[in-house]
C-alpha cells in the first residue's frame, strides 16, 4: 500500500512570488496527474489562521496545529505528516521530518549573498546544510542548480534529483489589455523586462537599452517589486531610465504585456531555473536572455544571448530583434517548440516518481 502524500502548505501564508507560483502550479498538476493515474490525491497541510488563497491549489486541504511560520513548519507539520511522505515545495522543510522531499530552487544564498537580507541568508544557509545531512531527499529545478547545490553543500550531485517547471499557466489567464491602455503602450512598440528588482536580476544594466529605445520613441517597460524581508533592500540597484515601471501585475496583465511586446529582455546574473523567458515564449514573444549556463539549459536555441555584464551587448541584441523582423519571427517559432518541452504536469510526474522511489 502506498503511503499518503502530504504537501507543506506554508507557502499559502506567504506573498505571491516565484517560489509560491511554483508551489501553486505544482499542486494543481499533482491533482491532475494523481487523478489521471488513479493515485490518491496528495493532501495540502496548512497552518491555522490566515491563509492567502492566491490561486487556491486544487488539492484537499487540512488545517493542522496552532502555530505559524517556521515554528509551525519545524514542530507541528512533521507530526501531522508522520504517516506519509511530505513534499516541501519552497526551499524549507522540517529538520526532523521522517520521510520527506524538499525542493531547493537555487543556491543563491551561497552564490549571490549580496542579494539577500542577512537574516534570510543565514537561516537558509544553516537550514540547507542541515537538511543535506539528514535523510531528506533533495530536489532542484535544473542541472545547473544541482551542480551548484552539490558544490556549496559539499555532497555528491547524485544525491540531488532534478525536476522541471512549466509555463502554460500564463496562457490560461485571459489577457487583460487594460494595462496597455493605462500606460499608453502600443503593440510591438515597447520592450518588456520582468524582475523583482533584487541586485542579481541586473536590471540596472538595461540603462543603455532604455536610452537607445527612447531615441526611437519606444519605452522600456519593467514589471516587478522587491520583498525586503528576503532581498537586501540596501543593495537594490539604481534602476534604468527612462523606463515605464508598472509594478507587480496580475497573470492576465502580464500575458497582455508579453503578447504585445516587441521583445522580452532578461539580463539576470543568476537564476535557478529562469521562468520568465519561458512565459514570454509561451506568449510568442522573442527573447533576449543573459548568456549564463542555466538560461542556455532552459531556453536552448530559442533565445538570443547577451553578456549580462555588457550593457551595450544587451542593447545590440534587443535592437537586432527590433530591426530584423525575420529574426523575431524565427525566435517566436523556436520559442513555441521550446516551451512545449516544459509543462507543469510533466514536472508533477517527475516529483511523484521521486516520491515513489523513496518507498521502493
Q: What is the domain count for the chain?
A: 2
Question: Which of the two residues, 207 and 48, has the higher pLDDT score?
Answer: 207
Shared-domain flag, residues 106 and 138: yes
Assess whether pLDDT exceeds 90 at residue 240: no
Same domain for 314 and 213: yes
Q: Is 327 exposed, middle or buried (0-12, 13-18, 19+ CB in 10 A)?
A: middle
How many C-beta atoms lie closer than 10 Å to residue 271's C-beta? Answer: 28
**Cell (9 digits) for 277:** 523567458
Q: Is the domain of 209 the same as that of 253? A: yes
Residue 235 scores a pLDDT above 80: no
Confidence category of residue 39, pLDDT binned at 50, 70, 90: confident
Give a three-class secondary structure readout of the chain: CCCEEEEEHHHHHCCCCHHHHHHHHHHHHHHHHHHHHCCCCCEEEECCCCCCCCCCCCCCEEECCCCCHHHHHHHHHHHHCCCEEEEECCCCCCCCCCCEEEECCCCHHHHCHHHECHHHHHHHHHHHHHHHCCCCEEEECCHHHHHHHHHHHCCCHHHEEECCCCCHHHHCCCCCCHHHHHCCCCCCCCEEEECCCCHHHCHHHHHHHHHHHHHCCCCEEEECCCCCCCECHHHCCCCCCCCEECCCCCHHHHHHHHHHCCEEEECCCCCCCCHHHHHHHHCCCCEEEECCHHHHHHHCCCCEEECCCCHHHHHHHHHHHHHCHHHHHHHHHHHHHHHCCCCHHHHHHHHHHHHHHHCC
Supply the pLDDT for residue 313. Answer: 98
Same domain? For 249 and 183 the reply is yes
Q: What is the mean pLDDT of the chain?
A: 92
**Spatial CB neighbours of 346, under 8 Å, sequence gap ≥ 6:** 164, 166
Same domain, 66 and 100: yes
Is the same domain home to 111 and 181?
no
Give me the percent of the chain exceeding a pLDDT of 70. 94
Instruction: Bin 247: left if φ > 0, else alpha if -120 < ψ < 50, else beta.
Output: left
**Residues 222, 215: Cα–Cα separation, whole Å:** 18
Task: Give Cα 338 to chain centroid, integer Å.
Answer: 17
Question: In terms of domains, do 158 and 130 share one?
Answer: yes
pLDDT given for residue 54 in this prediction: 59
227 has a pLDDT exceeding 50? no
Q: Is a pLDDT exceeding 90 seen at residue 229?
A: no
Tens digits of residue pLDDT in 65-96: 999 999 999 999 999 999 999 999 999 999 99
What pLDDT is stored for residue 1 in this prediction? Answer: 64
Q: Is it the case that residue 6 has pLDDT exceeding 60?
A: yes
The C-alpha atoms of residue 317 and residue 119 are separated, in whole angstroms, by 38
Q: How confident is the model at residue 237 (pLDDT cuts 50, 70, 90)?
A: low
| 189 and 325 inside one domain | yes
Answer yes or no: do 146 and 179 share one domain.
Answer: no
- Give the model's pLDDT for residue 349: 97
| Grid cell digits, residue 97 | 521530518
125: which residues sit within 8 A by CB, 6+ positions away? Answer: 109, 110
Looking at the structure, do residues 194 and 264 belong to the same domain, yes or no? yes
Q: Which three cell numbers stand for residue 280?
A: 514570454
Distance CA 139, CA 86 (A): 13
Separation of alpha carbons 40 and 356, rounded Å: 12
Of 142-151, 169-178, 219-228, the least confident? 219-228
- pLDDT band of residue 56 (cuts 50, 70, 90) is confident
Query: CA 321 to CA 301: how far, in whole Å?
Result: 15
pLDDT bin (cut points 50, 70, 90) of residue 52 is low
**Confidence class for position 300, pLDDT limits 50, 70, 90:** very high
Residue 133, domain CATH:
3.40.50.2000
- Please check the confidence at residue 16 and state whether its pLDDT lies above 90: no
Q: 123 and 65 share a domain?
A: yes
Which pLDDT score, from 0 to 100, does residue 231 have? Answer: 41
Q: In this predicted model, what pLDDT tens digit does every residue of 94-129 receive, in sequence order?
A: 999 889 999 999 999 999 998 888 999 999 999 999
pLDDT of residue 15: 82
Residues 354-360 have a mean pLDDT of 87
State which residues form the domain around 206: 170-339
Predicted confidence (pLDDT) at residue 53 exceeds the cutoff of 80: no
CA atoms within 13 A on the CB side of 113: 9
327 and 198 in a single domain? The answer is yes
Predicted model pTM: 0.92
Amino acid at each position: 500500500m502506498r503511503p499518503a502524500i502530504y504537501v507543506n502548505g506554508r507557502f499559502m501564508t506567504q506573498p505571491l512570488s516565484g517560489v509560491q507560483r511554483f508551489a501553486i502550479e505544482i499542486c494543481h498538476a499533482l491533482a491532475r496527474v494523481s487523478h489521471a493515474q488513479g493515485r490518491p490525491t496528495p493532501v495540502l497541510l496548512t497552518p491555522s489562521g490566515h491563509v492567502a488563497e492566491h490561486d487556491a491549489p486544487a488539492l484537499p486541504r487540512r488545517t493542522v496545529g496552532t502555530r505559524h511560520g517556521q515554528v509551525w513548519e519545524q514542530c507541528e507539520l512533521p507530526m501531522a505528516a508522520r504517516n506519509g511522505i511530505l513534499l516541501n515545495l519552497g526551499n524549507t522543510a522540517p529538520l526532523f521530518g521522517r520521510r520527506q522531499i524538499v525542493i531547493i530552487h537555487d543556491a543563491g544564498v551561497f552564490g549571490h549573498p549580496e542579494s539577500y537580507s542577512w537574516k534570510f541568508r543565514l537561516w537558509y544557509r544553516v537550514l540547507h546544510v542541515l537538511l543535506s545531512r539528514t535523510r531528506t531527499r533533495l530536489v532542484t529545478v535544473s542541472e545547473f542548480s544541482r551542480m551548484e547545490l552539490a558544490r556549496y553543500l559539499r555532497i555528491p550531485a547524485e544525491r540531488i534529483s532534478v525536476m522541471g517547471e512549466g509555463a502554460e499557466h500564463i496562457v490560461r489567464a485571459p489577457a487583460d489589455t487594460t494595462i496597455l491602455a493605462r500606460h499608453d503602450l502600443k503593440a510591438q512598440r515597447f520592450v518588456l523586462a520582468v524582475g523583482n528588482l533584487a541586485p542579481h536580476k541586473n536590471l540596472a544594466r538595461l540603462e543603455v537599452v532604455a536610452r537607445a529605445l527612447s531615441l526611437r520613441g519606444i519605452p522600456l517597460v519593467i514589471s516587478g517589486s522587491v520583498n525586503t524581508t528576503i532581498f537586501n533592500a540596501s543593495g537594490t540597484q539604481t534602476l534604468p531610465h527612462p523606463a515605464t515601471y508598472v509594478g507587480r501585475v496580475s497573470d492576465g496583465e502580464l500575458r497582455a504585456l508579453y503578447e504585445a511586446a516587441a521583445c522580452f529582455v532578461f539580463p539576470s546574473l543568476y537564476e535557478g531555473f529562469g521562468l520568465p523567458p519561458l512565459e514570454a515564449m509561451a506568449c510568442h514573444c522573442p527573447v533576449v536572455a543573459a548568456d549564463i549556463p542555466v538560461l542556455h539549459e532552459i531556453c536552448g536555441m530559442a533565445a538570443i544571448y547577451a553578456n549580462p555584464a555588457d550593457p551595450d551587448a544587451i542593447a545590440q541584441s534587443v535592437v537586432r530583434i527590433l530591426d530584423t523582423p525575420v529574426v523575431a519571427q524565427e525566435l517566436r517559432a523556436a520559442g513555441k517548440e521550446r516551451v512545449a518541452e516544459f509543462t507543469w504536469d510533466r514536472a508533477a510526474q517527475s516529483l511523484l516518481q521521486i516520491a515513489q522511489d523513496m518507498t521502493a
